[in-house]
């Protein structure tokens, strides 16, 4: 756990560089604005979001998890304590194996629950007007590429951090599950926002499990019915389970209208200042 930040940063940089390289070599769509204009604003948002998270929660989610474990707070911590207490002391090897199995199951369940939580959080950010004002900045990007997966308003980051902190404390989610989940979440956000196109037959096959780049571009469609679908950041089964999956857009992937109609794709709307102030403008 001491190396959690290093692990996250290493995977983040590796995936970002790899996906950016694929975008440069095999771009799926052409951007309206030049790369420098978009990337400066988008990458600034991830820096500001990281600073906001550090100020609001210096201990990080891993710290919250370790505190909950130490204090015996949260559903999984209570269940693990009861399991350990109920085990007979005469069979130490059996107890160790049983405890390891229970812990592995707890980690897997924790990752799944966190992923489902993010699905519903994302869905609420689309349906609650106050939340949409901040999430809209992410969707106002006129082009979808790897940096779009980092373009979230600091207020949205703060709200999301509060939701995840509450979930970690109430559920007693193990620290290792948080590291696994956040590494996967960041990696998949970079992956499915990438400006690449997988051959359709493989896209359909992969789409049974994961949200592909094409499926996520449907989520960035200007058509509201399409934008209000494919909420998953990683797996597609939450959308299938909760009836929000859209396998095809009305337009082709090559011609799909992306962005927000009331936020024209001009340099003035892509500046750092414009991105930060966008939610507070009356429309």
pLDDT digits (tens, 9 = 90+) for 157-205: 999 999 999 999 999 999 999 999 999 999 999 999 999 999 999 999 9
Q: Which pLDDT tens digit goes with each residue over 48-90?
A: 999 999 999 998 999 999 999 999 999 999 987 776 666 555 5
Q: Rounded to two decimals, what is the model's pTM?
A: 0.91
91 confidence band (pLDDT: 50, 70, 90)? low
Count of structural domains within the chain: 1
95: pLDDT strictly greater than 70: no
Of the candidates 136, 122, 146, the one whose C-alpha atom is nearest the C-alpha of residue 275 is 136
Q: Which among 228, 103, 106, 116 is positioned nearest to 163, based on CA atoms?
A: 116
d(CA 118, CA 124): 10
Task: Show Cβ contacts of residue 188 under 8 Å, excluding neighbours closer than 6 positions.
Answer: 210, 211, 233, 234
Q: DSSP characters for 239-269?
A: HHHTT---S--SS-TTT--BS-TTS-SSGGG
Residue 28: give the domain boundaries: 4-86+95-280
Query: How far is 231 from 157, CA to CA, in rounded Å?
Result: 17
Instruction: Find the largest Cα–Cα distance for the chain.
Output: 72
């Amino acid at each position: 756990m001491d190396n959690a930040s290093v692990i996250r940063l290493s995977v983040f940089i590796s995936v970002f560089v790899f996906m950016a390289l694929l975008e440069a070599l095999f771009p799926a769509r052409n951007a309206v604005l030049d790369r420098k204009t978009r990337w400066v604003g988008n990458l600034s948002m991830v820096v500001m979001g990281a600073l906001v998270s550090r100020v609001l929660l210096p201990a990080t989610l891993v710290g919250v998890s370790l505190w909950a474990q130490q204090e015996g707070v949260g559903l999984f911590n209570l269940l693990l304590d009861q399991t350990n207490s109920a085990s007979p002391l005469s069979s130490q090897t059996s107890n160790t194996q049983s405890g390891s199995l229970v812990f592995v199951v707890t980690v897997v369940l924790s990752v799944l629950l966190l992923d489902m939580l993010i699905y519903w959080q994302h869905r609420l950010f689309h349906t609650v007007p106050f939340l949409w004002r901040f999430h809209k900045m992410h969707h106002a990007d006129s082009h979808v590429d790897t940096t779009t997966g980092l373009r979230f308003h600091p207020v949205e980051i703060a709200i999301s951090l509060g939701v995840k902190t509450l979930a970690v404390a109430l559920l007693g989610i193990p620290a290792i599950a948080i590291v696994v989940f956040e590494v996967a979440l960041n990696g998949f956000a970079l992956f499915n926002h990438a400006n690449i196109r997988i051959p359709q037959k493989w896209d359909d096959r992969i789409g049974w499990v994961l949200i592909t780049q094409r499926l996520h571009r449907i989520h960035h469609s200007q058509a509201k019915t399409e934008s209000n679908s494919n909420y998953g950041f990683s797996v597609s089964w939450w959308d299938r389970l909760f009836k929000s999956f859209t396998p095809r857009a009305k337009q082709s992937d090559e011609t799909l209208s992306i962005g927000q109609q009331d936020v024209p794709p001009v340099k003035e709307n892509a500046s750092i200042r414009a991105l930060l102030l966008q939610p507070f403008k009356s429309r």
